Amino acid sequence: MEKGDQTKKKILDTGFGLASKIGLECLSIGSMAISLEMSKSGLFAHFKSKENLQLAVMEHAAHIFNKDVISPALKAPAGIPRIQKMMDKWVEWTINLSGGCIFVAAAAEYSDRPGKVRDAIREQHDLWIDCLNRIAHSAIKVGDFKEDSDCNLFAFQMYSLILGFFLYHNSMGDKKSKQMLQSSFQHLIDSYKT
């Protein structure tokens, strides 16, 4: 990796960590320059604007999420094992965050603010919902889920469980959140099983 690429990766890793703690909206060239002990002009040369920085950090976070959650899950056998792996890796991701979930926070921050950042957030959420929908279809295909299962509903329910877990675990500090998630997840799987 060349020095410029190493610098950019360091910037994006730092941006991901900061956005997790202070929110994407608070992420700026100035706050990043202070955290990285870089000049504002040096940082500006990489991104040209706050919005480009935020978009790059979101894209970097999505890359990390795909590497840590989606890819390992898709390597599991199709059906319930793949769905279980997805849930396990997503919970692990949530627990290991140094702050809050950048995607959940950014979705709330930008929900009523049109623009490129909100569009990128929505696109990423749509991709994950589509992924959950596809793994539900694969569960039907291998005979783990009933043939008439509503895959869109399953994707909504699984995503809702993760969001609820995130809120209970990270925001409210509920010590039983993981146990409640596992119980809720098992009820969800049981309701779709053949």
Encode pLDDT of 89-148 as tens digits. 998 988 887 777 788 888 888 888 899 999 999 999 999 999 999 999 999 999 999 999
In a domain, 36, yes or no: no
In a domain, 132, yes or no: yes
HEC sequence for 47-84: HCCHHHHHHHHHHHHHHHHHHHHHHHHHHCCCCHHHHH
In a domain, 71, yes or no: yes
Rounded to 5°, the CA angle 194-126-185 comes to: 35
Q: Give residue 180's domain range.
A: 58-192
In a domain, 28, yes or no: no
In a domain, 183, yes or no: yes
Q: Is the dihedral of CA 33, 36, 41, 43 positive or negative?
A: negative
In a domain, 122, yes or no: yes
Q: Indicate yes or no: pTM above 0.85.
A: yes
CATH no. for residue 167?
1.10.357.10
In a domain, 93, yes or no: yes
pLDDT in tens, 180-191: 999 999 999 999
**Number of domains the chain contains:** 1
